[in-house]
Amino acid sequence: MDRRELARALSSAEMITAPARQREPWLVLGVTGSPGVGKSCLVDRIVSNWLNRGERVAILAIDPSSPVTGGALLGDRMRMASVDAGDNVFFRSIATRNLPGGLPARLNSMVDLLVHEGWSRIIIETVGSGQSEIRIVAVADRLLLVEGPARGDVIQAEKAGVLELADLIVVNKSDLEGSDRVADEIRMSLNLSENEPAPVILCSAETGDGIESLISTLDSLPSARGPAIARARERLLAAHQESLLLHPGFADVLKSLSQGDMSIEDALNILQGV
């Protein structure tokens, strides 16, 4: 399908009928991290590198929902020069619709459709809203955590559990003071875990320093390192959430629940077909 048809299909849940993709070889990179650490600029660097070697790259930027229109705020597109690089790149901003988990329903299906249509690399950039970020492991084959020189970003990641699930951790803005110290603190924290620690790389999306190392490390990563049970749990919860939100009677059940005409147990029974 052409780009306009693809955009319409991604906007319409009932039109997404592509078969589920295989998880290996990996195709989908999840990029997460706190606001302000430079995720979008780093994604732009990665996309440019992949385009130069002939990849077809699709970017799904999960943006906060506008309180007025409910649509995506489109902030990421303003920070990515590579989105205008031609036919081999496709960019789509997707509103969270304020859903739990910070990810829209049917995101997995959207990714399956992009893979089916021949996009060889897909990047999902999350909002960066804290503990909800862990849900990205339900969709991504590899998870890149972006940190900055501020120690508070790392603490947030530790609380959210993202640090344990990340396949690669990048301390961006390496040209700023404190980045080396943050990288050392992350490595020390990872060494306390029983699992094999993820690589920690310093780079700067602003200057380009360390970008080649980042790309080569992404290419050589082994199978997803996060605990299999944690990834399976998030995928199961995401699928359950999706089935509830897309139930044809969801709006009616929600209205009855808000008016006190129905209990939580009755609402769940209806939505789950009990």
Number of structural domains the chain divides into: 2
- If asked whether residues 222 and 253 sit together in one domain, one would say no
pLDDT score of 204? 94
What does each C-alpha distance from 64 to 103, 126, 129 come to in angstroms?
10, 9, 10
Q: Torsion-angle region of residue 179: left (phi > 0), alpha (psi -120 to 50) or beta? A: alpha
pLDDT score of 149? 85
pLDDT score of 169? 92
- If asked whether residues 204 and 243 sit together in one domain, one would say no
- If asked whether residues 93 and 138 sit together in one domain, one would say yes
**Rounded Cα distance, 180 and 83, in Å:** 31
Q: Tens-digit pLDDT profile for the chain (274 aa)?
A: 788 888 888 877 555 667 777 776 789 999 988 878 888 899 999 999 999 999 999 999 886 544 344 444 444 444 556 666 678 999 988 876 545 445 666 788 888 889 989 999 999 988 765 545 667 777 888 889 998 886 555 555 555 567 778 889 999 999 888 899 889 888 888 877 777 788 999 999 999 999 999 999 998 887 655 556 666 777 777 777 777 877 888 889 989 998 899 899 999 888 887 6
pLDDT score of 160? 53
- If asked whether residues 274 and 198 sit together in one domain, one would say no
pLDDT score of 158? 59
**Rounded Cα distance, 197 and 74, in Å:** 34
Identify the three-state secondary structure at position 51: helix
- If asked whether residues 22 and 143 sit together in one domain, one would say yes
pLDDT score of 119? 93
Please count the residues of the chain: 274
pLDDT score of 82? 62
pTM (2 d.p.): 0.78
User: Which of the listed residues 226, 247, 265 is the one where a domain comes to its end?
Assistant: 226
**Rounded Cα distance, 175 and 177, in Å:** 7
- If asked whether residues 73 and 42 sit together in one domain, one would say yes
CATH code where residue 12 lies? 3.40.50.300
pLDDT score of 128? 65
- If asked whether residues 11 and 123 sit together in one domain, one would say yes
Q: What is the domain range of residue 238?
A: 227-274
Report which of 189, 230, 45, 16 is spatially closest to residue 114, judged by C-alpha positions: 16
- If asked whether residues 148 and 273 sit together in one domain, one would say no
- If asked whether residues 216 and 271 sit together in one domain, one would say no
Tell me the DSSP string of 94-158: EE-TT-TTSS-TTHHHHHHHHHHTT-SEEEEE----SGGGGGGGGT-SEEEEEE-S-HHHHHHHH
- E-strand ranges in the chain read 28-32, 57-63, 89-95, 121-125, 142-147, 168-171, 200-202
- If asked whether residues 58 and 183 sit together in one domain, one would say yes
pLDDT score of 18? 73
pLDDT score of 114? 92
Structure token digits, residue 257:
């629940």
- If asked whether residues 90 and 217 sit together in one domain, one would say yes
User: 139 — phi, psi (to 5°)?
Assistant: -115, -45
- If asked whether residues 190 and 239 sit together in one domain, one would say no
pLDDT score of 28? 92
Name residue 143's amino acid: L
